[in-house]
Amino acid sequence: MTNAPERPDPPMAGDERTQLTGFLDFLRASVVWKCSGLTDEQARRKHLPSELTTIAGLLCHLTLVENYWFRVVLDGQPDEWADRLEIDRDAEFRVALELPMTQLLADYEAEVEKCRAVVAARGFEDTVLFKGDKPLTVRWVVTHMIEETARHLGHLDLLRELTDGLTGE
């Protein structure tokens, strides 16, 4: 895969919501680009001492954190991963090693769409109580997910270059 991806450019002007969600969507599209066009074997390849730091594992992790912060924390939906993570705090990284990359990508893209809807239905000042008593705003979650996605996108960028030489922002 050498073609530049089609990603939405973050707006250089606009209100806070438009700019922050624009940056998050740019990063999400970059994740899809860095994970696309790989075989299952390539996506599971271990380049680092940590056997769980794979392209597939990071993609599954990003799907989980999208779900957790937007749908569980902000929207109050049940945490479908809670039991598995209580047994194994790296469960999503292990699960990813058993799933086809096409499914992992489809799951990520579907989760992103659901999470966009959660944010669209709320104001940035809307507040929920996190872990029972800590006020948390939608703005904080969006900002946190920019940081989380960007950090792991950096990992994906390195792993992808080690896998097949693909580089690019």
Spatial separation of the C-alpha atoms in residues 43 and 28, rounded to whole Å: 17
Tens digit of each residue's pLDDT (9 = 90 or more) over 32-53? 999 999 999 999 999 999 989 9
DSSP at 70: I
Name the burial class of residue 3, with classes exposed (0-12), middle (13-18) and buried (19+) by CB atoms within 10 angstroms of its CB. Answer: exposed
What per-residue confidence (pLDDT) applies to 4? 63
Name the burial class of residue 4, with classes exposed (0-12), middle (13-18) and buried (19+) by CB atoms within 10 angstroms of its CB. Answer: exposed
Pairing of strands 134-137, 127-130: antiparallel
Average pLDDT (83-108) is: 97
Average pLDDT (149-169) is: 93
Spatial separation of the C-alpha atoms in residues 52 and 3, rounded to whole Å: 28
Q: What is the pTM of this model?
A: 0.94
Spatial separation of the C-alpha atoms in residues 164 and 22, rounded to whole Å: 29
With a cut of 70, say whether residue 61 has pLDDT above it: yes
Tens digit of each residue's pLDDT (9 = 90 or more) over 86-95? 999 999 999 9
What per-residue confidence (pLDDT) applies to 169? 72
Average pLDDT (142-151) is: 98
What per-residue confidence (pLDDT) applies to 120? 98
Average pLDDT (70-86) is: 97
Spatial separation of the C-alpha atoms in residues 98 and 95, rounded to whole Å: 6
